[in-house]
A and B are shown apart, each in its own frame.
Chain A
Amino acid sequence: MTYLSPIIGLALALIAGAIMFSFLGKPPLGALYAYFIEPVSEMWSVHELLIKAAPLILMGAGLCVCYQSNNWNIGAEGQMIMGGMAGSILPVLFPQIAGPFVLPAMLIMGVIGGMAYAGIPALLKTKFKTNEILTSLMLVYIAQLILDWTVRGPWRNPHGLNFPETRQFDAFARLPEMIPADGRANFGFVIAVVVALLIWVLMAKTMKGFQVKVIGASPRAAKFAGFDAKNMVFFAFLLAGATAGLAGIVEVAGASGQLRTTISPGYGFTAIIVAFLGRLNPIGAIVAGLVLALTFLGGEAAQISLGVSDKVARVFQGLILFFVLACDTLILYRIRFVASKIIPKGAA
């Protein structure tokens, strides 16, 4: 039952996608094949898939904790940017510092950057009761502008022919590739899977995870249990911010190797879909992260092989979220309905 709704949702999204392709004048089945199968039929492109999946899995798993505790953090994109920037401080400003400790230090600084930025909406929510949905989103726009200014201004590569980008990171400041002979995928994917598994353990086995679920399911009961809702706001936001920050620096130190004016094609927003497609379960987020990475990869592939716009990827992602939400509630609704037949609600 639990796995049924995302699978049906995906299937419906594919059907809607086929209809969309036929509207665009492409043979629907062939187009779906070119979009979803072809891109993973070769080893190097599987590597590309893993590169794209890493940030999605990281942030998706972190957002599971936010959404399960009713903290509507939709600013992972901004937290990712801040993580990428904070993590780049060492290789950009202090390139002379070299050694094996640089990369771990970068990762830690990335985590801190993401946490700090996620701390802003958490602070505003707890201290001023400001709606976190709007603040976390506004902070995305602000982060994008900060990144743009930094890369065009103070951090621009002095030897870079005026391109808006920082200097290339040295090898010791880059995430190593897993199997260089086969493709570009770096250890970011491994980090992502490990982090997702750790968050799963947290949610499924620990007292803290129990708290998260109680606070999300019933704030009043959480109070009765003595769980501190304000603490939870910080916990959820900082955890999600940490994963987003890590995703940011993984992206920068991995695939791109330098900071540019954009570091993400909207991974932070796609991670929202990852969280829901994965049923707010961190292990589900691993699978969902791979699926949504495929929509990005397929979008690029379809642009070349079919000549359709890469915007198709975004449409697919939106459709997936829509259908998953619809199927989720359809199934839940039925359960609720059946349950209400057994126990009449409010019968007095």
Chain B
Amino acid sequence: MGMTEAILLTIATAATPLLIAALGELVVERSGVLNLGVEGMMIMGAVGGFAAASLTGNPWIGILIAILFGAITSLAFAFLTLSLAANQVATGLALTILGLGLSGLIGEPFVGQAGIKLSNISIPVLTDLPLVGPLLFGQDPIFYMSIALVIGVAWFLFRTRFGLTLRSIGDNHISAHALGIPVLRYRYFAVMFGGACAGLAGGHLSLVYTPQWVENMSAGRGWIALALVVFASWRPARVLAGAYLFGAVSIGQLHAQALGVGVPSQLLTALPYIATIVVLVLISQNVRTTLINTPAMLGRAFVPER
């Protein structure tokens, strides 16, 4: 495998968790809910996935548990913000704080353990093709899931009745309620889908990207995923582009560190965070696109009349 392929592969690996988590959050926000707890759900997925995989020896069970952990964590958010109409911003922060704490506690026995890596797929002949082989036919299974998710989410949102209903709720929950659409039920599903995606993204971190458990290993990726949704102005294909852009930035800085360019490593490590701020500033310049695409109900609680 050549250098270029290796770099492209690692970019894909770095981009995949961002992509999955951002797609999940995109669906959540399209329904009008702002869940800032992506980081918390992701880290819960990471610890759950790692623990399950190392207890059973099966990374696939790890992935399953990661998804489950993310979804269960999101349920706490859903209950507070949907059933109790709590402030979504504060509850999302609470979810992140709780997730970081709980994952640290759960993961304590696993610190320093060698992890189990979900291996890349390998198809005879195809995988050995030059350049395209490893890129198209030799990646980890989650990578293929992430690409399928982009298509699936886009199809769901813009080609199905359920997707239309979900978008209508995000646009105006009062109208939706007046038409008899079960607003809260849809939002529960959306939030749990977002949680499952964040959990899967976390599982990717601890079972594929760096197969081990390190406290706080999500390192702000949940927050970057949130920024990606804004960057993509709530459109799945643009999330894909954004995730790969960020993947490239974080891999680029790793390579620069390895090559020992004359810049402090801390500055390079800070690059993805700086890039996030820069991208957010650039995207907020385009007021009209942002305004048209932002789900109008984003962050607003819905209390049905009875």
Contact = CB atoms under 8 A, between A and B. Distances in A.
Interface of A: 67, 72, 74, 124, 128-131, 133-135, 137-139, 141-142, 145-146, 148-149, 153, 269, 272-273, 276, 309, 311-319, 321-322, 325-326, 328-330, 333, 336, 345
B285 interface: yes
A138 B220 contact: yes
Interface stretch (B85-93, B127-135, B235-243): B85-93
A124 B277 contact: yes
B264 A318 contact: no
Contacts of B270: 141-142, 145-146
A18 to B, nearest CB: 15
Given A321-B93, A322-B98, A314 B227 contact: no
Nearest to A346: B305
Contacts of B104: 309, 311, 314-315
- In this complex, the member of A67, A131, A273, A311 whose beta carbon has the largest number of chain B beta carbons within 10 angstroms is A311
A272 B93 contact: yes
A315 B76 contact: no
A115 B75 CA distance: 37
Contact of A313 (B84, B101, B219, B267): B101
Contacts of A149: 264, 266-267
Given A142-B270, A318-B99, A131 B284 contact: yes
B90 A276 contact: yes
B80 interface: yes
Nearest to B275: A138
Contacts of B87: 325, 329
Contacts of B108: 309, 311
- Which applies to chain A's interface (DSSP): helix, strand, loop or mixed? helix
B105 A315 contact: yes
B119 interface: no
Contacts of B280: 124, 130-131, 134-135
A311 B267 contact: no
B269 interface: yes
Given A142-B273, A329-B86, A329-B87, 18 more contacts: A74-B93, A128-B281, A130-B284, A131-B230, A145-B269, A146-B266, A146-B270, A272-B93, A314-B104, A318-B99, A318-B100, A318-B101, A325-B87, A326-B80, A326-B84, A326-B86, A328-B86, A333-B303
Interface residues of B, number: 45
B94 interface: yes
Contact of A141 (B90, B100, B220): B220
Interface of B: 36, 76, 80, 84-87, 89-91, 93-95, 97-102, 104-105, 108, 215, 219-220, 223, 226-227, 230, 264, 266-267, 269-270, 273-274, 276-277, 280-281, 284-285, 287, 303, 305
Contacts of B215: 311
Contact of B285 (A128, A138, A269, A333): A128
Nearest to B226: A134
Contacts of B84: 326, 329-330, 333
A311 B273 contact: no
A318 B97 contact: yes
A318 B91 CA distance: 10
B90 A317 contact: no
Contacts of B227: 134, 138
Nearest to B34: A133
A163 to B, nearest CB: 17
Nearest to B230: A131
A222 B226 CA distance: 29
Contact of B98 (A319, A329, A345): A319
Contacts of A131: 230, 280, 284
A121 B104 CA distance: 30
A129 B220 contact: no
Contacts of A316: 101
Contacts of A326: 80, 84, 86
A142 B94 contact: no
A316 B105 CA distance: 11
Nearest to A273: B97
A333 B79 CA distance: 14
